[in-house]
């Protein structure tokens, strides 16, 4: 962890809320909030479009000003916890993780001034 990393969590949340929609599939929705336990992390909740009613929660932690670590925290279908190891869920998780990394790259001007 880079102790010199200075992030304004609220500014990051706002920037993510502005930038992430451009990277997402039509119909998908999301929420972004700061992780109260770690000022270098964001909690991102995705609702997948379609009839499967999947929602996935990720923790995005800034390792340094350019790199993020993305961890899948939880997967639900129709409000119930499900196995995240199914092909459908793994595909969604990979897609959302890629979008998180793309968004972090797009916002590097904020994290690496």
The per-residue pLDDT for range 13-36, each reduced to its tens digit, is 999 999 999 999 889 999 999 999
Asked, for residue 4, whether it belongs to a domain, the answer is no
Q: How confident is the model at residue 1 (pLDDT cuts 50, 70, 90)?
A: very low
In-domain check, residue 2: no
pTM: 0.91
Q: Which residue has the tokens 């991102």?
A: 44
Does a structural domain hold residue 3? no
Could you give the number of structural domains in the chain?
1
Domain presence at residue 79: yes
Task: Tell me, rounded to whole angstroms, the distance of Cα 50 from its chain centroid.
Answer: 20
90 falls within a domain: yes
Residue 1 within any structural domain of the chain: no
The residue behind tokens 């949340």 is 13
Segments forming the whole domain that contains residue 30: 9-111
Rounded CA-CA distance 9/78 in Å is 30
Q: What is the pLDDT of residues 27-71, one digit of tens each?
A: 999 999 999 999 999 999 999 988 789 999 999 999 988 789 999
């Amino acid at each position: 962890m880079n102790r010199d990393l200075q992030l304004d969590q609220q500014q990051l949340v706002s920037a993510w809320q502005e930038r992430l929609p451009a990277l997402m599939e039509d119909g998908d929705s999301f929420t972004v909030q700061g992780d109260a336990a770690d000022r270098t992390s964001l909690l991102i909740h995705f609702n997948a479009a379609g009839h499967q009613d999947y929602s996935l929660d990720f923790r995005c932690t800034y390792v340094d000003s350019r790199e993020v670590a993305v961890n899948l925290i939880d997967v639900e279908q129709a409000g119930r916890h499900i196995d995240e190891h199914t092909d459908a869920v793994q595909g969604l998780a990979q897609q959302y993780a890629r979008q998180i990394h793309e968004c972090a790259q797009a916002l590097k001007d904020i994290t690496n001034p």
